[in-house]
């Protein structure tokens, strides 16, 4: 069996060594599977590429690709798919995470045209926490997959199995047949869009409790969200893009207009709260508030937000009501309070 591993990296000199070391352990420990790791340096200006070069010389990496310009993680992953679409399966590995070789030592029989999803280990600073989606291994057929997607639409912050592409093993045959790629123009939720696309093309999905992935959670770093979106100048575009995500076409589900928009609004709420990490002065608060007012004045955005069901979401009622009333001032103040409670070390 041939498994491609796509590793996009951008200015990752502090973490890329440990990530590639986990790939090295994988190749040394697992002998019955052929692994093809491809690292795509997305225009890094640090030592990411030179560190990766050492692993290429040791034949740990199958390919090492240097892009001249930073075009984003979606483009980098698509470059990887171009090199590896002829393998049996694909795995996505971020440049600050690790892959667990023990998953592949189990007597797993990997069936074609099936997605495999695992539990994962979440590392926050020095604390590690196991995250399970279910309490035992589980197999999904087409109807069960669609039912899970319905649950996701109701509470995307609770049913996260489709939120990320890491911690999963994808069949290349499906990716190749339907020409599934990441959307380069998305500034957020590119993993979600990719998963919604491929989940609707498969008939089988297997969840396994065995750990495949170690995810490094950087939310305790007060600068992490700022680094990921750049600045407040980009914030309006990012929040708008969530409300205008074109995810309807990925659902073979009837009469879900309200549910789709409800889901997009929850994603919007989650990112507004995270974005409060950017507010470090009265001036930045004012800029953020003006961004929200512009968004709330957009008719398309308003039509999406109106579909938000506060009771269904079971979220913060004050935040939800201020959102439904398009009260930008009180909405932002409540979001800031929620942020302070969730991330007290960053406040």
Tell me the domains of the chain and their CATH numbers: 2-216 (3.90.550.10), 224-346 (no CATH)
Structure tokens at 152: 């996701």
Backbone angles phi, psi at 170, to 5 degrees: -105, 140
Q: Which residues contact 271 (CB under 8 A, 6 or more apart)?
A: 188, 238, 239, 242
Rounded to 10°, the helix 317-324/257-275 angle is 110
234-290 pLDDT, tens digit each: 677 777 777 777 666 666 555 577 888 898 899 899 889 988 888 888 998 998 899
State the average pLDDT over residues 105-114: 83
Closest CA to 267 of 303, 243, 290: 243
- Burial (CB < 10 A; 0-12, 13-18, 19+), residue 53, is middle
User: Taking the model in full, what pTM does it have?
Assistant: 0.88
Q: Which residues contact 218 (CB under 8 A, 6 or more apart)?
A: 96, 224
pLDDT, residue 157, reads 85
Task: Say whether pLDDT at 187 is over 80.
Answer: no
CB 278 within 8 A of CB 224: no
């Amino acid at each position: 069996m041939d498994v491609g591993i796509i590793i996009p990296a951008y200015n990752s000199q502090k973490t890329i060594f440990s990530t590639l070391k986990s790939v090295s352990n994988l190749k040394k420990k697992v002998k019955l599977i052929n692994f093809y790791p491809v690292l795509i340096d997305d225009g890094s200006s640090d030592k990411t590429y030179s560190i990766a070069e050492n692993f290429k010389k040791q034949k740990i990496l199958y390919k090492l690709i240097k892009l001249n310009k930073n075009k984003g993680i979606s483009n980098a992953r698509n470059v990887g798919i171009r090199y590896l679409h002829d393998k049996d399966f694909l795995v996505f590995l971020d440049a600050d995470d690790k892959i667990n070789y023990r998953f592949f030592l189990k007597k797993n029989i990997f069936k074609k045209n099936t997605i495999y999803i695992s539990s994962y280990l979440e590392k926050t600073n020095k604390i590690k926490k196991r995250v399970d989606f279910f309490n035992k291994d589980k197999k999904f057929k087409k109807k069960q997959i669609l039912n899970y997607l319905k649950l996701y639409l109701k509470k995307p912050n609770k049913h996260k199995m489709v939120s990320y592409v890491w911690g999963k093993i994808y069949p290349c045959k499906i990716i190749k047949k339907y020409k599934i790629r990441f959307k380069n123009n998305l500034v957020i939720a590119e993993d979600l869009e990719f998963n919604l696309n491929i989940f609707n093309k498969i008939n089988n999905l297997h969840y396994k409790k065995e750990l495949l992935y170690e995810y490094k959670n950087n939310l305790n770093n007060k600068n992490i969200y700022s680094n990921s979106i750049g600045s407040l100048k980009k914030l309006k575009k990012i929040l708008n893009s969530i409300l205008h995500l074109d995810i309807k076409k990925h659902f073979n589900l009837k009469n879900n207009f309200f549910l789709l928009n409800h889901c997009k609004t929850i994603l919007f709420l989650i990112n507004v709260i995270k974005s409060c990490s950017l507010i470090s002065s009265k001036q930045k608060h004012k800029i953020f508030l003006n961004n929200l007012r512009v968004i709330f004045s957009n008719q398309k955005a308003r039509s999406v937000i109106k579909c938000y069901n506060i009771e269904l979401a079971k979220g913060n009622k004050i935040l939800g009501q201020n959102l439904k009333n398009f009260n930008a001032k009180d909405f932002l103040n409540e979001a800031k309070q929620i942020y302070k409670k969730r991330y007290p070390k960053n406040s």
